[in-house]
Amino acid sequence: MGQQTLPGFRDFYPEEMAARRHLDAAWHAAAAAAGFREIDGPVLESLELFTKKSGDEIVGQLYSFEDKGRRPVALRPEMTPTLARMVAARAGALPKPVKWYSVQRFFRYERPQRGRFREFFQWNVDVVGAPEPAADVDAIAVAVDGLRRLGLGPQDLAVRINDRRFVHELLRGIDVGPEQEAQVLGLIDKLGRDPKAPERLAELLGDRRAGELSGWCENLPLDRAPALGELLEIADESGLRGYLEPDFRIVRGLAYYTGPVWEIFARGASLRSIAGGGRYDGLIATLGGPDLPALGFGMGDAVLTELLAERGLLPDGAPVLDAYVIPVAPEMLASARDVARRLREGGARVDLPYGPVKPRRGLKDANRAGARHAVLVGPDEWADRSVRIRDLTSGSERLVGVDELGASDVLAS
C-alpha cells in the first residue's frame, strides 16, 4: 500500500461526500430557519487564542507549530474563541441578541477512535447578548431541528439537561467547597459510564454525602431548581416536549459553563453524545471582550454519521443524472454533444460518452451513471430534427424535437 492519510484524517469519496453534504444541508437549513446567520474565521489562529481560554494543558491536544515568522500558531480545535473575538471586535455595533452559526473543519491532536477523528466537521450555534432562558431553548430547538431534518425524532433522541447554578447550590448544601468542586464535577460526569465512579465519590465525600448526591442522580429535585423549571416550561411551549430529560449527571467538562448545560444522546445506542452545549456567560469577558451573556452548542459529524448509518438514514451516494446522451452511430457524436449542451442549458444534469459507443453499451453506461432518461441521437431521427428520449424506469420512448430540448420540463415524464 502506498501513501495513506494521516491517522485520524479521512478521504471523502463521492459516497462519503454525499453523506457529509446531507448533514451540512440539514444543519444550514435548521440554523437559517431560526434566524441564525453564518460566520467563519481562519482555520489557523495564534496559539495564545486557545491557551487563554483553556490553559497551557490543551497544547498537547492541538496541532500547533511555529510559522515562518516564528509565531506560535495552532489549527483551530473549536469555534468559540474565534466567535468571542469576532463579537468583541464589533460588540458595540451588533444588534442583540447576536445569533450566529458555522459549519466548519476543526483539528484536535488526539488518539482517533470510534466517533472521534483528528480532523472533523462541527456545527456551532451561538447566541450572544441574551440572558433569557428562552435563548437557551432557542439553541436546543435548533439542534433538535437539525437532527429532525436528518430523520431523528423524540423516539431516537434525548436531550439531557442540567444547570450549573443548581449544581453549585446543591454541592454547597452538602459542604463541598470550591477547592473540591472541580473534582466532584468530574466524578458526577463519570457516573453514567464509569462503574468505579460511585466508589470514588464515596471515598471523597463520605457515604452520607455521596448517597445524597446519587439520590439527585436518580431523581433530580426540580423544586430546588426554579431556573431549570422555567427553561423546561419554555421548551414545552417550543415543541420540545418528549426530548428534554433533566439529569444531574450532565455537568460537562470544563469550568466556564455558568448556567444550563445539556447533551444530546441517541436512545438505545452506546455512542458518545451527538451534541453538547450550555451557557457560558463569563467567557467573552475572559477572552478580553465585553461582559456579554452567551450560550451555544457544537455538533460534530463523526458520532452523528455513525448513528445515521446505523439507522439507515444516510443517502446511498449513488450518482444521479437527468439524462445520458447516446450517439447511436459514430457520425452522431457531434450532434450528441449539441443535444447535451441544449439539455444542460435547460438546467438538466446530463452526461455523455467522450467517443463512439454501441447503443447497447451506451444504455448500460446510462444505467450505471444513474440516469433517469437516455437520449438516443440517431441518424434517422436527426434527419427530422428530433431525438428519442427513453425513460429508463418504464422503458417507454418518445420523439422530441431538437428545439424543445432546452425546455425545463422536457425530461419531466
Partner RNA sequence: GUGGGUGUAGCUCAGUUGGUUAGAGCGCCGGAUUGUGGUUCCGGAAGUCGGGGGUUCAAAUCCCCUCACUCACCCCA
Out of 148, 209, 272, 279, name the contact with RNA by CB under 7 A.
272
What distance in Å separates the CA atoms of residue 87 and residue 121, rounded to the nearest whole number? 22
Least Cβ distance, residue 58 to RNA (angstroms): 4
Q: Which stretch binds RNA (CB under 7 A): 30-38, 82-90, 139-147, 246-254?
A: 246-254
Is residue 62 close enough to count as binding RNA by CB under 7 A? yes
What distance in Å separates the CA atoms of residue 95 and residue 93, rounded to the nearest whole number? 6
Least Cβ distance, residue 226 to RNA (angstroms): 26
Q: Which stretch binds RNA (CB under 7 A): 74-82, 313-321, 338-346, 402-410?
A: 74-82
Cβ atoms of 321 and 350 within 8 Å: the answer is yes
Give the nearer residue to RNA in terms of CB position, either 84 or 135: 84
Least Cβ distance, residue 239 to RNA (angstroms): 26
Out of 50, 121, 166, 243, name the contact with RNA by CB under 7 A.
50
What cell does 231 get? 427553561
Q: Which residues contact 90 (CB under 8 A, 6 or more apart)?
A: none
Out of 71, 208, 364, 398, name the contact with RNA by CB under 7 A.
364
Q: Which stretch binds RNA (CB under 7 A): 92-100, 134-142, 147-155, 361-369?
A: 361-369
Give the nearer residue to RNA in terms of CB position, either 234 or 248: 248
Q: Which of 87, 61, 86 is nearest to 74 (CA)?
A: 61
Is residue 160 close enough to count as binding RNA by CB under 7 A? no
Is residue 368 close enough to count as binding RNA by CB under 7 A? yes
Cβ atoms of 42 and 50 within 8 Å: the answer is no
Omega within 30 of 0 (cis) for the link into 97: yes
Out of 38, 67, 194, 212, name the contact with RNA by CB under 7 A.
194
* Residue appearing with cell numbers 425524532: 153
What distance in Å separates the CA atoms of residue 325 and residue 392, rounded to the nearest whole number? 12
How distant, in Å, are the alpha carbons of 75, 117, 352 from that of 397? 56, 50, 18
Strand, helix or coil for residue 126: strand
Is residue 336 close enough to count as binding RNA by CB under 7 A? no
Per-residue exposure over 11-38, b if at least 16 CB sit within 10 Å of its own CB, e if not? eeeeeeebbbebbeebbbebbeebebee
Is residue 351 close enough to count as binding RNA by CB under 7 A? no
Is residue 328 close enough to count as binding RNA by CB under 7 A? yes
Give the nearer residue to RNA in terms of CB position, either 234 or 303: 303
Is residue 253 close enough to count as binding RNA by CB under 7 A? yes
Least Cβ distance, residue 223 to RNA (angstroms): 28
Least Cβ distance, residue 309 to RNA (angstroms): 12
Give the nearer residue to RNA in terms of CB position, either 226 or 253: 253
Is residue 310 close enough to count as binding RNA by CB under 7 A? no
Q: Which stretch binds RNA (CB under 7 A): 22-30, 173-181, 187-195, 198-206?
A: 187-195
Is residue 386 close enough to count as binding RNA by CB under 7 A? no
Q: Which residues contact 199 (CB under 8 A, 6 or more apart)?
A: none
Alpha helices (runs of H) in 259-332, residue ranges in sequence order:
283-286, 301-310
Residues numbered 96-155 forming contacts with RNA, rule: CB under 7 A: 108, 110-116
Give the nearer residue to RNA in terms of CB position, either 122 or 141: 122
Is residue 361 close enough to count as binding RNA by CB under 7 A? yes
Residues numbered 8-47 forming contacts with RNA, rule: CB under 7 A: 8
Give the nearer residue to RNA in terms of CB position, either 29 or 318: 318
Return the DSSP state at 59: G
What cell does 285 get? 469577558
277: which strand partners? 262, 297
What cell does 181 get? 468542586
What distance in Å separates the CA atoms of residue 302 and residue 114, rounded to the nearest whole number? 8
Give the nearer residue to RNA in terms of CB position, either 219 or 393: 393
Is residue 378 close enough to count as binding RNA by CB under 7 A? yes
What distance in Å separates the CA atoms of residue 186 and residue 100, rounded to the nearest whole number? 30
Return the DSSP state at 250: -
Cβ atoms of 275 and 249 within 8 Å: the answer is no
Pairing of strands 260-266, 371-377: unpaired
Out of 156, 161, 388, 400, name the contact with RNA by CB under 7 A.
388
CB atoms near residue 120 (< 10 Å)? 22
Q: Which residues bind RNA (CB under 7 A)?
A: 1, 4, 6-8, 50, 54, 58, 61-62, 77-78, 80, 108, 110-116, 186, 190, 193-194, 252-254, 272, 276, 298, 328-329, 358-361, 363-364, 366-368, 374, 376, 378-381, 388, 390, 392-395, 397
